[in-house]
């Protein structure tokens, strides 16, 4: 009896999964919460670009704008500064000059923390800002190494 209930439940779950995949409501719902493709004052880059920039720019800094997700892993050499902690002052503590190249990232397009941090950095006058829009999710997905705890 319990087995039968289990199987029926499983079939129902399968159905929910299928329905959820094609539910147009969920797409509409997420649209507003996604970051734009580009941000004023920042250059959008990919994971590959990061590796290249690390080689090319010795002064490059990587700022992790996430707040709680860092323990899951992070890009090597990145510094954690959550967007809500990002100010001109806190940035100045990490970036020595306004010309210092810097990459912002968070979990991805939906987390929007890097977007906010960049807006602040731009307002502070930093002019070599790179935005890794794909974030840590994309990093993992691309199979790049990261620091895991």
Partner 1 sequence: MQIKNLLLMFRNGVSITAILVFIIGIMGLLGLAFTHFSGTVHQQHAYNNQRRAMIELIRIKADDLLQQLESMEKKMGLALQAEAPFRTAFKQQDQEKMRKILDNEFHRFFSTTGKIRLEKLAVYDRDFNLFAEQASEHSMLSDAEIGCNSVLVKARKRQAAERLKMISELCQLQQRAYHTTIIPIGGIRLKGYLFITTDPVYNLSPIEKALAMPIAVRLPGQKISYQSKNWQAMDNHEVITAVYQLTSNNSEPTLEVLAKDRVVPLFKNIPNPSFFVMIIVSLFTLLYIAIATVILRRTTINPLKKLTMYLNDITEDKARLGEKISVGGIREIQALCKSFNIMSEELGGLYQSLENMAFTDQITNLPNRNFFQSHLKEVINYHKSIEHPFALLIMDMDKFKAINDALGHQTGDMLLNDVGQRLETLLRGSDIVARLGGDEFAAIITLKREREHQNSVSVMVHKIIDVMAEPFMIDGHTLLVGMSIGIALFPEHSVNNNDLMRKADVAMYHAKKTRAGFSFYSDKHDEYSVRYLLLSKDLMTAIEKDQLQLYYQPKVDAKKGSLTGSEALIRWQHPELGFVPPSEFIPIAEQSGQIRKLTSWIINKAIEQCSLWRAEGYDLGVSINLSAINLHDQSLVDEIHQAMRTYNMKPQYLTLEITESSIMGDPEQSVKVMRQHREQGFNLSIDDFGTGYSSLSYVKKFPVNELKIDQSFVRNLINDPNDEAIVSSVIVLSHSMGFKVVAEGVEDQATLAKLADMQCDVIQGYYIAKPMPYSDFIPWLHEYVHHTKR
**Sites of contact with partner 1 (CB under 8 A):** 3-4, 6-7, 10-11, 14, 47-52, 54, 75-77, 142-148
What is the spatial distance between Cα 124 and Cα 32, in angstroms, rounded to a whole number?
26
- Cβ 6 to partner 1, closest distance in Å? 6
CB nearer to partner 1: pick between 40 and 148: 148
- Cβ 76 to partner 1, closest distance in Å? 4
**Conformation bin of residue 40: beta by default, left when phi > 0, alpha when psi is -120 to 50:** beta
CA 133, 134, 137, 143 torsion: positive or negative? negative
**Helix axis angle, 47-56 relative to 135-142, nearest 10°?**
90
- Cβ 61 to partner 1, closest distance in Å? 14
- Cβ 107 to partner 1, closest distance in Å? 17
Closest CA to 142 of 61, 37, 35, 48: 48
What is the spatial distance between Cα 116 and Cα 57, in angstroms, rounded to a whole number?
24
């Amino acid at each position: 009896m319990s087995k039968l209930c289990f199987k029926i439940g499983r079939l129902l779950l399968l159905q929910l999964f299928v329905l959820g995949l094609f539910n147009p409501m969920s797409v509409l719902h997420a649209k507003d919460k996604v970051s734009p493709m580009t941000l004023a004052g920042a250059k959008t880059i990919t994971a590959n670009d990061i590796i290249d920039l690390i080689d090319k720019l010795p002064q490059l800094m990587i700022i992790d704008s996430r707040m709680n997700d860092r323990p899951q892993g992070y890009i090597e050499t990145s510094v954690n500064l959550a967007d809500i902690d990002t100010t001109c002052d806190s940035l100045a503590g990490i970036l020595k000059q306004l010309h210092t190249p810097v990459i912002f990232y968070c979990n991805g397009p939906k987390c929007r923390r890097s977007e906010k941090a960049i807006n602040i950095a731009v307002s502070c006058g930093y002019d070599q800002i790179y935005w890794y829009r794909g974030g840590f999710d994309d990093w993992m997905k691309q199979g790049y190494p990261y620091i895991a705890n």
